[in-house]
Amino acid sequence: MSPAGASVVLVSMPFADADRPSLQLGLLKVAVEKAGFAVRTMHASLDFASLVGMSAYRMLAAHRGRQFGDWLFSVAAFGRGAPDPAGSIVADFGSEVPPLDLLELRDRVVPSFLDSLAGDPAWRAAQFVGFTTTFQQNVASFALARRLKERYPGIVTVFGGANFDGVMGAEYHRALSCVDHFVSGPGEAALPLLLGAPPSDISGIPDFDEYFERAERLGLLDRESVLLPYESSRGCWWGEKHHCTFCGLNGETMRYRSKPPEQVLAELDTLARRYRTFRFEAVDNILDPRYLTTVMPALTSAGYDLFYEVKANLSRADLRLLARAGVRRLQPGLESLSSRVLRLMRKGVRAAQNVCLLKWARYYDIDIAWNLLWGFPGETADDYSAQAAAIPSLAHLQPPGSADRIWLERFSPLFAEAVSPEPEPSYRYVYPSSVDLSRAAYFFEWPSPLDDAVYTGVRSAVGLWNSNWASLERPTLTYRAIPGLLQIQDRRPAFPRGTYTFPDPVAAIYLACDERPRSVAAIAREAGVSEKMGQNAIAELAARGLLFLDEDRAIGLAVPAVPGR
């Protein structure tokens, strides 16, 4: 490689999220500049979004699903090696195809986009071009790399990102001539070394200037909705101990490491001032629990709007603290309302804990992103009939965004145990035969262990749950209480509309499992009644959909009517 001082261009191609800058480019720019290189970043995904419109772009940028986004660039990337010049993917996947003219986009918009991009004067001085790729960013990157090498044969390409972890990167490097080098794993230290620079300090705050300049020039910048990515940790502390069976995130870099609290706070402050925004999205796979006593209390006086991924075992007090700290959105990885299925997943939580999180997130007005999944070895039909039966009682809590079977992900424990798994079918419409998809693909087919009809009840119940949640009069279940008296107002569609009034001992029994899931014995003990009486009262309350029962645990479903406590 050439010595430091050379010119480097770092590129993020479609289909990266266009609503936020690339953290990868922001961090790599700083690291490569520190190593002595002249660096320019290029959020080229914005250019494509401006051509097709943000609505169409978001459809194509779906992280899970058929590879329609990568397919659009297949002919441009692989020429005669492209496996589907006729566009059979459109007919073969029928109703799954987004409502767009994919052939028009592929044959007219994509070549125009690539020609315009390749004509940028920046390439004339570039010696190295680095591409970061995650999910459906591969083929657009290969297409641009191919054009650049045709125009500028001396350019050296370097690929990295999640799509190049482990054997995937090695396969693309072997099979595709446009890939000169690749980095597997974190790139801030590896890329400067690959470019020929000596080791140096790689810590730094990401530089997103080019994203904002480009988005504003293209008329795509909406400062009200843009989310600024930031990173306070890498890896997964839960996955280090008990890797969730279906999760392929982190690839070969599971080891958890987090930044000191003072560094997190300083970076948020700097980024907010530099880019005039208070809206942030943590890219961490899981929140460091120590931040609940360090970072979050310090943020309660700030005005941030934050997103975090968390483990679902958070308490009411934790959620109250997060809400006060400005965490308005959480992704807790709920995945199921069955403790038995959660054990099959190795999630380390119970269904009642998931419901507890939904309850208190609703109370503290925190948006929860979650999906209900199935298809795990060892599950039974009863696991899903029980969930379908329980869902109507949860109508006042936030529903899952979707309910479907899992996809098999590379690097997951299920993948490691699978025998000759087949790559997800749409890959075959994208990549030439020279690419060994068994080594290059990230998503694989995973047939459900049970007949698909088993999941019909859950799928229907979730559909109705979402419909009711989106209605003008959203379902509610609230309570008010004073010592010795409890009143619950029920406004859920599957239950009689009305108000229940319970004196002690029923009031005491219900309130004993209001804060968190508890055993029948513990509830009876706190309420000062016999276990038999506790069991009878709990069974009656559950029959009315006022309690969620989870094996030997129960949690009250009503949310306090008085907000903010």
Confidence of residue 443 (pLDDT cuts 50, 70, 90): very high
Confidence of residue 1 (pLDDT cuts 50, 70, 90): very low
404 lies in some domain:
yes
383 lies in some domain:
yes
pLDDT given at position 202: 67
207 lies in some domain:
no
Angle between helices 520-527 and 531-543 (to 10 degrees): 110
Angle between helices 381-390 and 456-469 (to 10 degrees): 20
Confidence of residue 512 (pLDDT cuts 50, 70, 90): very high
Residue 540 shares a structural domain with residue 426:
no
DSSP three-state, residue 174: helix
Amino acid at 429: Y
CA torsion 367-372-377-383 (nearest 10°) is 120
- Residues 235-276 pLDDT 10s: 999 899 999 999 988 776 789 999 999 999 999 999 999 999
* CATH number, domain with residue 42: 3.40.50.2300
Residue 444 shares a structural domain with residue 489:
no
Residue 333 shares a structural domain with residue 364:
yes
Q: Is pLDDT of 2 > 60?
A: no
* DSSP secondary structure string for all residues of 418-482: -SSPPBPGGGGGTS-TTS-HHHH-SEE----SS-GGGGHHHHHHHHHHHHHHTSSS--EEEEEEE
Confirm if 537 and 341 have CB atoms less than 8 A apart: no
Residue 318 shares a structural domain with residue 435:
yes
Q: Is pLDDT of 5 > 70?
A: no
Mean pLDDT of 487-513: 97
pLDDT given at position 500: 97
Residue 487 shares a structural domain with residue 454:
no
- In 3D space, the residue among 236, 222, 293 whose CA is nearest the CA of residue 18 turns out to be 222
Q: How far apart are CA 348 and CA 15, in angstroms?
A: 33
Mean pLDDT, the chain, as a whole number? 95
234 lies in some domain:
yes
Residue 359 shares a structural domain with residue 492:
no
Domain boundary among 437, 469, 501: 469
Structure tokens given for 440: 């290059």
- Using CA of residue 8, residue 10, residue 13, residue 19, what is the dihedral sign? negative
* CATH number, domain with residue 487: 1.10.10.10
- Residues 118-164 pLDDT 10s: 999 999 999 999 999 999 999 999 999 999 999 999 999 999 999 99
* CATH number, domain with residue 350: 3.80.30.20
Residue 496 shares a structural domain with residue 366:
no
204 lies in some domain:
no
Mean pLDDT of 417-425: 94
321 lies in some domain:
yes
pLDDT given at position 371: 96
Domain, as residue range, for 179:
7-195
Confidence of residue 396 (pLDDT cuts 50, 70, 90): very high
200 lies in some domain:
no
- In 3D space, the residue among 431, 556, 394, 375 whose CA is nearest the CA of residue 89 turns out to be 431
Q: How far apart are CA 64 and CA 68, in angstroms?
A: 11
Determine what percent of the chain is predicted with pLDDT higher than 70.
98
Residue 66 shares a structural domain with residue 42:
yes
Residue 49 shares a structural domain with residue 142:
yes
Domain boundary among 410, 442, 469: 469
Q: Is pLDDT of 459 > 80?
A: yes
Residue 288 shares a structural domain with residue 431:
yes
Q: What's the count of helices (H) and strands (E) in the chain, helices before strands?
A: 26, 23
- Residues 153-201 pLDDT 10s: 999 999 999 999 999 999 999 999 999 999 998 898 899 989 888 766 6
Candidate from 8-22, 193-207, 478-492, 538-552 with smallest mean pLDDT: 193-207
Residue 416 shares a structural domain with residue 500:
no
- Residues 298-325 pLDDT 10s: 999 999 999 999 999 999 999 999 999 9
54 lies in some domain:
yes
Q: Is pLDDT of 355 > 60?
A: yes
DSSP three-state, residue 125: helix
pLDDT given at position 6: 66
Residue 435 shares a structural domain with residue 335:
yes
Mean pLDDT of 475-501: 97
Domain boundary among 414, 437, 469: 469
Question: In total, how many domains does the chain have?
Answer: 3
